[in-house]
Amino acid sequence: MKKYDVVIVGGGFTGLTAAYVLSKQGCKVRVIESDVTPGGLAGIFEFSDGVRLEKFYHHWFNNDIYVPELVKELGMEGDVITLPSRTGMYFNGQMWKLSTPMDLLRFTALSFIDRIRLGLLVFQVRRVKDWRTIEHLSIREWLESLCGKSVYKVVWEPLITSKFSIYAEAVNAVWMWKKLVLRGSTRNEKGSEELAYFKGGFGRLAEAMVTAIERNGGEVGFTEKVTGLHTEGNQLLSVTTTHGDIAGRQFLFTPAFPIIADIFEGNADADWLARLRRVRYLGNMCLVLRLKHSLSETYWLNVNDPGFPFVGVIEHTNFDTPENYKGSHIAFLSRYLAVEDPVWAYSDSQYVAFALEHLKRMFPEMDESWVLEHRVWRAEYAQPVTERDYSHYVPGRETPFSNAHISSMAQIYPEDRGTNYAIREGRAVAADISKLISE
């Protein structure tokens, strides 16, 4: 059996970054990916005519650090474009623009005083210097103390409920704090938000990373699933995959915690496995619509009306131009839910019918004839649920085996998911593994 210096399970941005860094250092690296494409949740697909697009909506923030560093290292810095974003809110049957401070002042769904309180929130949020001081609070407890119950009920509660479903009251305030701090620092001198996108989609960057890894002598396999382990004492010897056993000196596991727990089941102590399973997740169902016509002028439309089953309608081609999609318009409809929710079991056709019924209520002029193509994507472990005092119970990188490590999006905390932080974590864990190899 061929033995690698490092075996990495998972071809998302954390695993690919670690593989890229280690392969540059001369390590013999093997990446195992169960999907047909790299990139994880940022992976891409093709429509029938070859137009490529992410399965789940993505963008970068203009203040992200680790993405541009990697892109520059790969010689692709010219492929990052920074564009102004147009955001809004659907509330009480009406569209509201919320891209600039003036838009906020026109948001008459709130009283004038509450509009001021909402506008001042970003300054109040910046006063929090240590996130641990608010980790014991729920989002509701924290935000109501800052901007009042009316603002929370109209602006934040619908979004938090749509985002976290049955866990809405359990998520700690740090998640919201980090979002507000990040979004508040991405605005230009006019107060408008600017976001970044990678030409051709994030999957294209992931593919470039695969090419670089292979150029450095590494190997990346697709449609391979890890089904078990071979161990000896506190050492992991090899992983069993659907394509055979793969041996290594060091191992890195980057999937969601429940998947890692299933892999280690029977080879690790019950307490450690229980810690992995303690972290809860929500799934995501994402309907990608390719349309003849645009739905609105808004890129990111938060849906604050509880009568609608989406956290947002993201019209991608109000960000990246329709010309890059052969003149068609792209919209993502995102729904977070527990996999026990009956909607999760809908067939694709059932879910499309369900979604379009609600979408036409929001955009009455829309007709099903507008839909050129569609895809429904599901991610069972799309969103880790960071409950109160999350830092006290989330597992670290260590495993019961001295030569095996874990690094997943549930450990990016206090940040939330994102390719920028996945790249950061990939570099960090690669540095740890490199030290162990050189010892």
Q: Is residue 71 one of the residues assigned to a domain?
A: no
Which residue numbers in the chain have pLDDT < 50? none
Distance from C-alpha of 80 to C-alpha of 87, rounded to nearest angstrom: 21
Collect all residues with Cβ–Cβ distance below 8 Å to 158 and sequence separation of at least 6. Answer: 91, 303, 304, 305, 306
Q: Is residue 380 one of the residues assigned to a domain?
A: yes
Extended strands (E) in 98-217: 194-198
pLDDT of res. 192: 65
pLDDT of res. 183: 66
Q: Is residue 66 one of the residues assigned to a domain?
A: no
Residue 38 shares a structural domain with residue 172: no
pLDDT of res. 193: 72
Distance from C-alpha of 92 to C-alpha of 104, rounded to nearest angstrom: 16
Residue 186 shares a structural domain with residue 84: yes
Distance from C-alpha of 291 to C-alpha of 355, rounded to nearest angstrom: 14
Residue 167 shares a structural domain with residue 192: yes
pLDDT of res. 82: 85
pLDDT of res. 1: 73
Q: Is residue 95 one of the residues assigned to a domain?
A: yes
CATH of the domain at 406: 3.50.50.60
Residue 347 shares a structural domain with residue 401: no
In this prediction the pTM is: 0.93
pLDDT of res. 417: 87
- The one-character DSSP state at 316 is G
Residue 112 shares a structural domain with residue 173: yes
Residue 90 shares a structural domain with residue 185: yes
Of 68, 8, 4, 67, the residue nearest 33 (C-alpha): 8
- 164: its two tokens: 């976290």
- 245: its two tokens: 């056993």
Residue 272 shares a structural domain with residue 383: no
Tell me the per-residue pLDDT of 6-62, one tens digit each, with 9 for 90 and over.
999 999 999 999 999 999 999 999 999 999 999 999 999 999 999 999 999 989 888
Residue 98 shares a structural domain with residue 207: no
Distance from C-alpha of 377 to C-alpha of 254, rounded to nearest angstrom: 21
One DSSP character per residue, 55-112 reads SS---EETT-SHHHHHHHHTT-GGGEEEEE--EEEEETTEEEE-SSHHHHHT-TTS-H
Q: Is residue 382 one of the residues assigned to a domain?
A: yes
Residue 258 shares a structural domain with residue 114: no
Q: Is residue 64 one of the residues assigned to a domain?
A: no
pLDDT of res. 29: 98
> Tokens 């399970």 belong to which residue?
9
One DSSP character per residue, 177-191 reads HHHHHHHHTSB-TTS
pLDDT of res. 219: 98
How would you classify the pairing of strands 235-241 and 244-253?
antiparallel
Residue 99 shares a structural domain with residue 45: no
Residue 145 shares a structural domain with residue 165: yes
Mean model confidence pLDDT for the chain: 93
Residue 19 shares a structural domain with residue 52: yes
Q: Is residue 299 one of the residues assigned to a domain?
A: yes
Q: CA torsion 383→388→389→393, rounded to 10°?
A: -50
Query: Is the distance from CB of 223 to CB of 102 less than 8 angstroms?
Result: no
Q: Is residue 68 one of the residues assigned to a domain?
A: no
Domain that holds residue 32: 3-58+201-279+394-438
Q: Between vectors from CA 89 to CA 146 and to CA 45, what angle results, nearest 5°?
A: 115
User: What is the tally of structural domains in the chain?
Assistant: 2
Q: Is the peptide bond before 414 cis (omega within 30 degrees of 0)?
A: yes
Its sign, for the CA torsion 151, 157, 162, 163, is positive
CATH of the domain at 378: 3.90.660.50
Query: Which domain-ending residue is among 387, 405, 423?
Result: 387
- 3: its two tokens: 């033995």
pLDDT of res. 184: 60
Tell me the per-residue pLDDT of 263-305, one tens digit each, with 9 for 90 and over.
999 999 999 999 999 999 999 999 999 999 999 999 999 998 8
The three-state secondary structure class of 10 is coil
Distance from C-alpha of 36 to C-alpha of 210, rounded to nearest angstrom: 13
